[in-house]
Structure 1
Amino acid sequence: MTQVFLLRNQHGYFFNRQGEWVSGREAASLFRAHHKDEAINEVFEISARDFGQRIEIVELPVSEKGVPQVPAEWIVEPPVVVEEEAAVEGDASTSQASPQASESDANPPQDGGADVHMDFFRAESA
């Protein structure tokens, strides 16, 4: 069996050929490099686009068909997001905004609010 190099980020996700981070369950779609310098170049390109990624290069064996054999304990399941909770949180954040604040934001004072700052300085000097 030969070895290939895969890219894995700090969350345990693997980089695929479409440029996305995936769990690794579908090993045939993963980005793979036959030479380590190709993998290093790809890490450099990804880091230039998204500097928050911490990427490691892992070397794994391939099957007879050339598919990387990702260990089962390395396969990460994506977090489950409940859509109802997200919708409730979105409604709560919009209902907390006061109508007065949105009106004042839409119609700022013509003088830029300079009178408010001048009152502040007058109060300090007195």
Structure 2
Amino acid sequence: MSEVFVIRNQLGHYWGKSRSWLDGRDARLVARLKHHDEGVNLLFELSSKDVALRGEVLAVDVDARGEPVIEPSSHPLPDAAPDLLTDGEQNPSAAGQNGAASTTTR
């Protein structure tokens, strides 16, 4: 088999084996379907649960290991936490607090 079918949404995320959207960086986790009509049926089911979903069924080639050759999405996943800042930089007031006021007295 030289190609499989995958489902991609409007943000470039792929439907995964774990029944959630993935950014496509790890192709092993992306759900792959043998037949186009399976993808169409699955996309119909997904769009009936999420009316804002705009998706497509794509035929993609597979590599030597049988993994789909896909382009990762440049859009972050909705549940992905920003990892550019440390916890203290994201919320400076939370750094060093133990539930008590941080005032010093002499």
Superposition TM-score, scaled by structure 1 size: 0.59
Counterpart CA distance in 2 for 1:57 and 1:41 is: 10
Tell me the residue number matched to 1:42: 42
Alignment of 1:23-42 (within 5 A): 23-42=23-42
Higher relative contact order (CA 8 A, sep 6+): 2
Unpaired segments of 5 or more residues in structure 1? 88-126
Counterpart CA distance in 2 for 1:24 and 1:59 is: 15
Q: Structure 1 vs Structure 2: percent identity of aligned residues?
A: 31
As a proportion of its length, which structure holds more strand? 2
Counterpart CA distance in 1 for 2:18 and 2:58 is: 19
Tell me the residue number matched to 1:108: none
Post-superposition offset of 1:20: 1.0
Post-superposition offset of 1:63: 1.6
What is the Cα-based RMSD across aligned positions, in Å? 2.3
Post-superposition offset of 1:7: 0.5
Superposition TM-score, scaled by structure 2 size: 0.69
How many residues in Structure 1 have an aligned counterpart in Structure 2? 84
- Matching residue's letter, 2:2: T
Greater gyration radius: 1
As a proportion of its length, which structure holds more helix? 1
- Matching residue's letter, 1:26: D
- Matching residue's letter, 2:72: I
Unpaired segments of 5 or more residues in structure 2? 94-106
- Matching residue's letter, 1:6: V
